[in-house]
Structure formats: structure tokens, C-alpha cells
């Protein structure tokens, strides 16, 4: 959450920040895979998503419509085994290509991808995204920025702002805390954290920290610090096995808390970046303790102090990532494995994790407190302000 400071610096100094450009619909029939699914949507949820599709007011564009078509065919008929249309049959050929590109993913997985995609489209229109999330979760809790589902004893918390690369807003921080608290009490065996779209998470969404409280920057720094403390605490105290399914690039706070996960599975195209000193800030998410413990002092220093970006393979070699999978089979391999894990005795997993975590839980809370205290100081310092201004001046020239 080190990036929280950037926006209130910019706001208080009347600096204009460029917002992330919304992904434009390409007026062609080229198909790209843009969602990263979870598995296991029920037939009922699939039918609900089909009904939601008919309520969309805006044309989502050819790319998205092709994706919807391909996922529907995969979900209802399985992998594409029909002959390839002729080169001159342009429309059917591109539809065939879209379906064929899904490979061998299961019908269950395709149903879940379909549900997630429709939910994202409804949310993007400013519609009943909370109701969609609640329907998928099968609970009374609603979320505006997350898709929370519980299927086959797996609770999945999915960041759901794909057009913003799943950048985390203040609202999302609070919803993630609530979702973790809910998952800690439900009957699922493990909890999975992942993202919708091509990004796992791009860190903090700077465009959402625009309201400076009456106390000014100092008051906002304290408020942001308390939110960060509470957010990291939710990971430290989480009682069940917690798994990160890293479906794309990860930045900032989404990376630093990975040291608090029990397993981290990543696609080969994922990257891991913590550019804190670039903007005059310091470590967070207990990474000042977990990163040296995991990867050694020198490698942790290179990442946390000198902004080293790691590839998925490098992160795995250093121990931050448990295993890396080919992008083409990432989801199917990971979710097949997770479905095997949930067959293990639930209490045995919980008690074993508690034993492992109990040895350092008190220390993790102390580290979290120290990191927050340092960040609040950083966010109100001239050095941090100057670094932030230099950062945005460099960005504006791109």
C-alpha cells in the first residue's frame, strides 16, 4: 500500500494525474484471451450468467463477443473438435479460432470463465455488480470490486477491475478485508486469491485517493496507515491455507503480502515488482521480514531497495513463488491440483498452519506495526514528495 501516498500528494499539490486509459474495443475479429478464470461454476450459475448477458445495454465489441461465444461452446460442448472452416469463410473461421484457442480446458472451467466474464461486463456498465458477486458467492454478502465464490470447498477472492489492471482502491481494501474475514469463517477448506483479466494486480489505484480530510495530508497519512495495518493483519491472522493464483503481472502491495501466503502459483508470464524507493517510500506487507527470510538479504535488498523486477521463474528460484506453469495450461493445472488438496482433512490443514504460523505470528504483527509507522513518516516527508513529483514528471513525458 506504499502507493496510497502518491495520490494524496498529487491531490494536495494540485498535480494532475493521468488516469489509466480504458481498454478500447478493437474493431477487428482478432481474439485474445483476457480473463483468468477460476473453476467450478454450477449449471445454475451458468444459466444466471446467460440471463445477465441479455441485460447488457452496450455492445461489448467483437473481441469480447467472440470470447463469450468460445466459452459458451467450450462450456456446453467441450474442446473444439470440428473441422476448420475454409480460408474464405471468414466469420466461421474466426469463431472456430476463438473456440480452438481455449484448448483442453474443462467444461466446468469454461462455465466459470463465462460467469466471470459476464459479471465483469455487467459491473463495467455500472450495473448490479454487487448482486452478480453475491449470486456467484451464494451468500448474503455483496461486493462491488470483487468476485467471491465458494465452489467445491474452495473460496475464491478475485479482484474484479480488469480495465484498471485490478488496481486496488480504498473500497477494495475494505472489501478484501471483509472477504478474508468471511472466508475464515465459512466451511471451505482453502482460500484462493487471484485477479480477473491479464493482470493479477497493478498495485494501488492512485485516482481514488482524491478527498483530503480536514486534517490535511497528515490526517490522510494516518488514515491510510491504519487501513494498511488492518489489511496486512487480515493476512497474518487468516487461519486456513491461503493460495495466490498469480495470473499475470503483480505490483506493490499485491507482491509484498505474498510472503504471508501458504502457496503461490504463477503463470510463466507473471512478473513481480515492488518499486518503493523509486517514489521515496519503504517496505510494507511484512516484506521487510518475509522477503529476506525467503530469498536472503541480498536478493531481498535488490528487490525492495533497488526496484528489481522479477520474472516468474526468478521469483520461483528465490522461493517467493511455489511453482510456475505454462500460460496455456496454467488454470487447468493449478485448479486440478487445488481440487485434490481440498480432499485433505480440513481441521488437519488448519491446525498444521496454526502451528507453523504461531512461531512467528507475534513477530509479524510487530513488523507490520513498524512498517506502517515508517510509511506514515515517509508519506509526510519532503523527500517522498519530491520523489513522487519526479516520478510523475517522468511518466508525463512517456
Read off the C-alpha cell for 168: 486496488
Radius of gyration, CA atoms only, the chain: 21
Bridge partners of residue 244, in order along the sequence: 193, 264
Which of 2-11, 205-214, 217-226, 310-319 shows the highest mean pLDDT?
310-319
pLDDT score of 206: 66
Catalogue the long-range contacts made by 93-100 (C-beta closer than 8 Å, 24 or more residues apart): 94/29, 94/31, 94/66, 95/66, 95/69, 95/70, 97/31, 98/31, 98/66, 98/67, 98/69, 98/70, 99/69, 99/70, 99/73, 99/74
pLDDT score of 94: 83
| pLDDT, average across residues 359-366 | 96
May I ask the CATH architecture of the domain 21-139? Answer: Up-down Bundle (1.20)
pLDDT score of 189: 97
**Residue 238 to residue 193: CA distance in whole angstroms:** 13
Q: Which residue has the higher pLDDT, 205 or 90?
A: 205
| pLDDT, average across residues 90-119 | 85
First to last CA, the chain: 25
Residue 133 has pLDDT above 60, yes or no: no
Cell match 472451467: residue? 109
Nearest to 286 by CA among 1, 88, 18: 1
| Angle, alpha carbons 121-17-380 (nearest 5°) | 115
Read off the C-alpha cell for 236: 497474518
Residue 209 has pLDDT above 80, yes or no: no
| pLDDT, average across residues 42-57 | 77
Going from the C-alpha of 177 to that of each of 133, 163, 170, 232, the distances in angstroms are: 16, 22, 11, 9
Q: How far is CA 264 from the centre of its chain?
A: 13
Bridge partners of residue 148, in order along the sequence: 157
- pLDDT category at 27 given cuts 50, 70, 90 is very low
Q: Which residue has the higher pLDDT, 22 or 10?
A: 10
Residue 35 DSSP SS3 = coil
Q: What is the percentage of the chain residues whose pLDDT exceeds 90?
A: 56
Dihedral angle sign, alpha carbons of residues 72, 76, 79, 81: negative
Residues 186 and 154 sit within 8 Å (Cβ to Cβ): no
Other residues' Cβ atoms within 10 Å of the Cβ of residue 354: 12
**Residue 112 to residue 108: CA distance in whole angstroms:** 6
Q: Which residue has the higher pLDDT, 3 or 287?
A: 287
Per-residue pLDDT reduced to its tens digit, 75-92: 899 999 989 888 667 678
Nearest to 290 by CA among 264, 325, 324: 264
Bridge partners of residue 166, in order along the sequence: none
CB contact set of 56 (below 8 Å; sequence gap of 6+): 121, 122, 125
Count of H-run helices and E-run strands, the chain: 16, 9
Identify the H or E element spanning 267.
Answer: strand 263-267
- pLDDT category at 385 given cuts 50, 70, 90 is confident
pLDDT score of 46: 83
| pLDDT, average across residues 307-320 | 98
Helix axes 129-137, 43-53, angle to 10 degrees: 170
Q: Which residue has the higher pLDDT, 229 or 395?
A: 229
| pLDDT, average across residues 344-372 | 96
Fold of 165-398: 2-enoyl-CoA Hydratase; Chain A, domain 1 (3.90.226)
pLDDT score of 37: 38
Domain ranges of the chain: 21-139, 165-398
Q: How far is CA 126 from the centre of its chain?
A: 20
| pLDDT, average across residues 362-383 | 95
Q: What DSSP letter does each residue of 173-238 carry, written as one string?
A: HHHHHHHHHHHHHSS-SEEEEEESSS-SB-SB-GGG-----TTHHHHHHHHHHHHHHHHHHHHHT-
Nearest to 205 by CA among 172, 174, 243, 230: 172
Q: How far is CA 71 from the centre of its chain?
A: 22
Amino acid at each position: 500500500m506504499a502507493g496510497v501516498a502518491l495520490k494524496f500528494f498529487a491531490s494536495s499539490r494540485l498535480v494532475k494525474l493521468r488516469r489509466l486509459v480504458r481498454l478500447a474495443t478493437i474493431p477487428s475479429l482478432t481474439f485474445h484471451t483476457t480473463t483468468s478464470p477460476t473453476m467450478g461454476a454450477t449449471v445454475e450459475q451458468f444459466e444466471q450468467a446467460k440471463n445477465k448477458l441479455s441485460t447488457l445495454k452496450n455492445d461489448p465489441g467483437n473481441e469480447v463477443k467472440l470470447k463469450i461465444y468460445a466459452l459458451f461452446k467450450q462450456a456446453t460442448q467441450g474442446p473444439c473438435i470440428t473441422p476448420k472452416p475454409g480460408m474464405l469463410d471468414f466469420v466461421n473461421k474466426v469463431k472456430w479460432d476463438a473456440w480452438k484457442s481455449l484448448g483442453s480446458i474443462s467444461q466446468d472451467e469454461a462455465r466459470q470463465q463465462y460467469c466471470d466474464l459476464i459479471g465483469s461486463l455487467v459491473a463495467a456498465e455500472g450495473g448490479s455488480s454487487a448482486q452478480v458477486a453475491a449470486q456467484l458467492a451464494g451468500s448474503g454478502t455483496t461486493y462491488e470490486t470483487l468476485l467471491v465464490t465458494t465452489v467445491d470447498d474452495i473460496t475464491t477472492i478475485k479482484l474484479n477491475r480488469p480495465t484498471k489492471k485490478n488496481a486496488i482502491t480504498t473500497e477494495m481494501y475494505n472489501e478484501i478485508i471483509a472477504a478474508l474475514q468471511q472466508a475464515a469463517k465459512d466451511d471451505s477448506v482453502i482460500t484462493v486469491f487471484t485477479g480477473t483479466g491479464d493482470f493479477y494486480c497493478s498495485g494501488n489505484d492512485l485516482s481514488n485517493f482524491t478527498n483530503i480530510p480536514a486534517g490535511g495530508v497528515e490526517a490522510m497519512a494516518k488514515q491510510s496507515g491504519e487501513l494498511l495495518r488492518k489489511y496486512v493483519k487480515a493476512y497474518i491472522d487468516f487461519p486456513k491455507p491461503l493460495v495466490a493464483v498469480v495470473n499475470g503481472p503483480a505490483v506493490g502491495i499485491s507482491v509484498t503480502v505474498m510472503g504471508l501466503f501458504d502457496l503461490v502459483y504463477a503463470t510463466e508470464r507473471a512478473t513481480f515488482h515492488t518499486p518503493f524507493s523509486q517514489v521515496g517510500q519503504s517496505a510494507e506487507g511484512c516484506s521487510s521480514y518475509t522477503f529476506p527470510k525467503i530469498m536472503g538479504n541480498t536478493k531481498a535488498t535488490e528487490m525492495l531497495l533497488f526496484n528489481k523486477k522479477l520474472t516468474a521463474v526468478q521469483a520461483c528460484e528465490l522461493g517467493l513463488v511455489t511453482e510456475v506453469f505454462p500460460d496455456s495450461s496454467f488454470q487447468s493445472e493449478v485448479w486440478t491440483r487445488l481440487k485434490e488438496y481440498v480432499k485433505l482433512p480440513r481441521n488437519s490443514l488448519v491446525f498444521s498452519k496454526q502451528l507453523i504460523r504461531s512461531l512467528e505470528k507475534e513477530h509479524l504483527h510487530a513488523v507490520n506495526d513498524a512498517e506502517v509507522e515508517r510509511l506514515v513518516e515517509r508519506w509526510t516527508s519532503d523527500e517522498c514528495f519530491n520523489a513522487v513529483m519526479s516520478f510523475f514528471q517522468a511518466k508525463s513525458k512517456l
